[in-house]
Amino acid sequence: MSITITSSAFKEDEMIPALYTCDDANISPPLKWSNIPPDTVSIALIADDPDAPMGTWVHWVLFNLPADTTELPQAVPAHSKLSNGAVQGMTDFGKPGYGGPCPPGGTHRYFFKIYALDDKIDLTAEADKKKLLQAMEGHILARGQLIGRYQRQ
């Protein structure tokens, strides 16, 4: 089963507006998803840039979203714990919450990956992408991704 993930801010493989990058407000884009399996217990999201010169750069780590969550609004607060119980882990910027595209040169791709899980993740906000992926192992019911691109002006 594949989760469909979209954004009203940009379409698949299109440019991400500057508002969601380090060149402007650096706020998270609105995201919406569907096709979550009925036995989902929680949802996780990872956003990263595989085109970064030092290897994949992690822009967002979010987990334990309630299973009935079908979207995230624009500008999710950069708190470790959200009001709905979700946890934002550590990015490669060294802090929790969304960190927008800020490529040093050229056009980079940004993968927004969503996961439906059969359990909650027992990690703290200090968890990074690697720890989250390890904790999700064997618990992924479905996944989906949205790719946006960005080049600094």
Query: For the residues of 82-94, what is the DSSP string, one character each?
Result: -TTS-EE-B-TTS
Quote the pLDDT of residue 153: 81
Q: What are phi and psi of 71, to 5 degrees?
A: -165, 160
Is domain 4-150 annotated with CATH 1.10.1200.10?
no
pLDDT digits (tens, 9 = 90+) for 70-84: 999 999 999 999 999
Q: What is the mean pLDDT of the chain?
A: 97
Each as own residue / partner, the long-range contacts of residues 92-97 (CB below 8 Å, 24 or more positions apart, any chain) are 92/57, 92/58, 92/59, 93/59, 96/61, 96/125, 97/28, 97/60
Output the tens digit of pLDDT for each of the chain's 153 residues.
Answer: 799 999 999 999 999 999 999 999 999 999 999 999 999 999 999 999 999 999 999 999 999 999 999 999 999 999 999 999 999 999 999 999 999 999 999 999 999 999 999 999 999 999 999 999 999 999 999 999 999 999 998
Residues 7, 76 contacting (CB under 8 angstroms) = no
State how far the Cα of 93 lies from the Cα of 49, in Å rounded to an integer. Answer: 13
Domain positions in the chain: 4-150
Q: Which two tokens stand for residue 3?
A: 């989760």
DSSP 8: S
